[in-house]
Structure 1
Amino acid sequence: MLPAILARKSVFPQFFTDRPVEATTIGKLIEAANLAPSHRKTEPWRFRCYLGQGKAQLMREMLDVYGREKVDAPAIEKKFGTKVEQAGAVLLIFLHRDPNESVPEWEEIAAVGAAVENLWLSLDAYGLGGYWSSPGFVCGDYGAWPGAADNERCLGIFYIGYPDAPDLPRPRGDWQDKVTWVQ
């Protein structure tokens, strides 16, 4: 089995060091994401990368999305601000729907998932860890986000950082229980 697949795991922000992640490294990860398959070559993945001081902008955007009038801003900042601050980089993952709708939407969502998996499989090569989160307020109302085009929807947040994490078990059920053979 490919080593990158075996090495892929979720590393949560509380296990990141304070070492920043360079923009050139993020560029390489997104280059890997860009190699994902997509039907009719719609390439529906888009990313917004927040580094350094840009992470403060992300927190403002999160509060706008959540709805400042409906939220205890300090509670949201505590819950999500801590994760954002612990991460060396934060990516927002977007579906950029083909304006011609030449393929079913689910295929484009699957393509975005494949792009994120490519990125995730590439983390270990750079000594990085990551975690894909899809909190309801980010992906609720089908991912409306400030500044996003009408055909774009946020599908989650991907936290990236240099890990200092214990080796946690990754239990998986037997693959044979997930296959029906027709011969």
Structure 2
Amino acid sequence: MLPAIAARRSIFPQFFTGDPVSREAIEQLIEAANLAPNHRKTEPWRFRVYRGPGKEQLKEELLTVYGKEKPDAAAIAKKFAGKIDQSAAVLLIFLHRDPRESVPEWEEIVAVGAAVENLWLSLDGAGLGGYWSSPGFVCGDYGEWPDSATNERCLGMFYLGRPDAPELPRRVGDWREKVRWVE
């Protein structure tokens, strides 16, 4: 498993080929995400998959969330439209908070992160690449995303595509500098 973890990297939309990704491939990624650990089995992850014509709806939703009336709305729309157009699919990542609040919210956020990491680790085996982006206006307060439940919050966007990226060094600090042993 360590080689798969070490090989995990972010692939940005400008390095996607433009080739489509099948629904079945995306379903397998989400199946891997669904196997993430979570306290009290709340399974707090939710995904919205935008592909094909659905990507136009995502562009509209992003502009609605950002605020169409803001002076820089056109620039924001252009920036995100480019990334969306370069991606075969974009997955919105949501925290679906346990209505009973049976666990602290941070545990559910961490569980969503574990689900996304499972998805991310599955990309290479499927010949795919991607990255998780969390612009501040996308990851707002509960209920701000169109059609989201009051107990849901968007935690970001995962851009997905077939990569044609240069091999770039992955800068990771020495793990020994991040550990304090108490024996």
TM range (shorter): over 0.9
Cα deviation, 1:113-167, whole Å, max 9, x if unaligned, reads 0000000000000110011000011013367201000000000000000000001
Whichever residue aligns with residue 161 of structure 1, its letter is G
Unaligned runs of 5+ in 2: none
Partner of 2:54 in structure 1?
54
Conserved? CA contact 1:48–1:93, under 8 Å: yes
Alignment of 1:9-158 (within 5 A): 9-141=9-141, 144-158=144-158
Q: Match for residue 164 of structure 1?
A: 164
Structure 1 residues 1-30: Cα deviation after superposition (integer angstroms, max 9, x where no partner): 522112110000000001011111100000
**Matches of 2:178 and 2:35, distance apart in 1:** 28
Q: CA–CA distance in 1 between the matches of 2:19 and 2:31?
A: 22
Structure 1: which 5+ runs fail to align? none
Segments ≥4 residues shifted beyond 4 Å: none
Partner letter of residue 104 of structure 1?
P
Secondary structure of the structure 2 residue equivalent to 1:78:
helix
> TM-score, length-normalised on structure 2?
0.97
Counterpart for residue 176 of structure 2: 176
Alpha-carbon offset, residue 78 of structure 1 = 1.4
SS where residue 118 of structure 1 aligns? helix
1:6–1:97 CA distance, 2 compared to 1 (3 A): same
Indicate conservation of the 8 Å contact 2:67/2:73, yes or no: no
Q: What's the CA shift string for 1:73-124, capped at 9, x where partnerless?
A: 4312210000000001100000000000000000000000000000000000
Identity of aligned residues (%): 74
Structure 1 residue identity aligned to 2:54: G
Q: 1:128 to 1:41 in 2, by over 3 A?
A: same
The structure whose residues are more often helix, as a share, is 1
Structure 2 contact 143–151 (Cα < 8 Å) conserved: no
What is the CA-CA distance between 1:45 and the residue it aligns to? 0.1
In 2: Cα distance, 1:71 partner to 1:114 partner: 37
Number of residue equivalences: 183
Offset of 1:70 from its aligned partner? 1.5
CA contact (8 A) 1:143 1:155 kept: no
TM-score by length of 1: 0.97
Q: Which amino acid aligns with 1:8?
A: R
What amino acid is aligned across from residue 108 of structure 1 in structure 2?
Answer: E
